[in-house]
Amino acid sequence: MLKLKADYVLTFKEKSDILLNAEVLFDKKIIKVGYNLDETPAVYLGKNSVLMPALINNHTHLEFSSNKTTLKYGDFITWLNSVIQNRENLFTKCNSKCYKDSINEMKKSGICAFGEISSSGNDLKYLTKQPLKVVYFNEIIGSNPAVADILYQDFLARLENSKKYENEKFKTGISIHSPYSVHPVLMDKVIDIAKKEEMVMQTHFMESNAERLWLDQGKGEFKLFFEQNFKLSHPLIKPIEFIQKFKDTKTTFIHCVHANEKELEEISNIKGFISHCPISNRLLNTGLLNLENVKNKLIDYSVATDGKSSNYSLNLFKEIRAALLMQVELHPKYLAKDLLKAVTINAAKSLGLNNGSIEPTKDADLISFKLPEKVNDIDNLFLQIILHTNEVDYLYINGEEINL
């Protein structure tokens, strides 16, 4: 059992968000939060210290972590072609050191859990031997009916293999790459599995204008792309129909930059989540998600880094700082609080994890760090945290201190 005391304790529990000079008592789980809790001596984390739930990066592609300057940024289709061209090389280049460096970057920046999209299964052996919690999304991709069965069998083999490693820190999930890249028959098959086995799901949705034009009208830059690469002359599903397939599942729709009103409403209706990846969207020049709209539709959103295939870093503090500076329509003070909730409690809900807030019975997944000075206006606390934090001093997962 351990009791920590900090100048600022952020709980992200309903209503009481900030507690000053408060204590948190925990073992594997949070036991109590507040003042003068019991006889256990408290460890004081120091002047201007912050204690809060550890961060959750709910959407990554660690398979691509070896990318630094290989992929082409600035235009979505140009980038996609460069991914197809370099995919195998980048996978081969990502060796055990490459995975280790990615995990180190995440844990140093206070991340206790992440959602990994795995298209090959190459990452499995590295991710089962590291200290962070993982939700491992086996991804299905492929729209050609001639090879659908081969792709499905490969997917099933990867899924079964990953299930062998399930434990309190490793969960399996299912990802459908996108509405444009997966045959509807395959979608139905894997959604059935997710429902039966109560697995969480993720899918990329409306990332680019090219996707919008292709799915709505069978036109635009994707037309040539599909004809050349996949011999496909028309889209196979309408976006609304695609969203409705996920009814009665726990699904996060990644990006949604070009999702329209009706689609956001439908995501809200089926209680879907949205993950916002502003740096990735900026680098591929696809536009900016309308967060105000997402909020108005009462959709829980999280923020994630996506993979290093479209980012220079896996640090979530950097990602939410980018969101804070890019989302100019929203008031920085209130947006800052929402962004910290996005990478804690909201991300936990989207992955089905029992963490993301400091309250009794939740997993003791906590971080602590120090602000450079006292915060004079407590209403600015969330904003100052996002401006001044890159790395943390302590990370606890299930109550255990992790070596940083």
Q: Which residues are catalytic?
A: 207
- Cα–Cα distances in angstroms (integers) from residue 37 to residues 42, 141, 185, 389, in the given order: 9, 52, 56, 29
Chain residues that interact with Zn ion, rule: CB under 5 A: 306
Run of H or E including 252: strand 251-255
CB of 310 to Zn ion, least distance (A): 7
Q: How far apart are CA 142 and CA 150, in angstroms?
A: 10
Is there a contact between 360 and 28 (Cβ–Cβ < 8 Å)?
no
Residue nearest to Zn ion (CB): 306
State the CB neighbour count (10 A cutoff) for residue 247. 14
CB of 81 to Zn ion, least distance (A): 17
- DSSP E strands in 36-165: the ranges are 43-44, 49-53, 55-60, 111-118, 133-140
Smaller CB separation from Zn ion, 7 or 306:
306
Q: How far apart are CA 104 and CA 329, in angstroms?
A: 34
Smaller CB separation from Zn ion, 31 or 111:
111
Q: Bridge partners of 204?
A: 254
The region that residue 359 occupies, defined by phi over 0 for left and psi between -120 and 50 for alpha, beta otherwise, is: beta
CB of 176 to Zn ion, least distance (A): 12
Smaller CB separation from Zn ion, 220 or 307:
307
CB of 202 to Zn ion, least distance (A): 8
Smaller CB separation from Zn ion, 49 or 281:
281
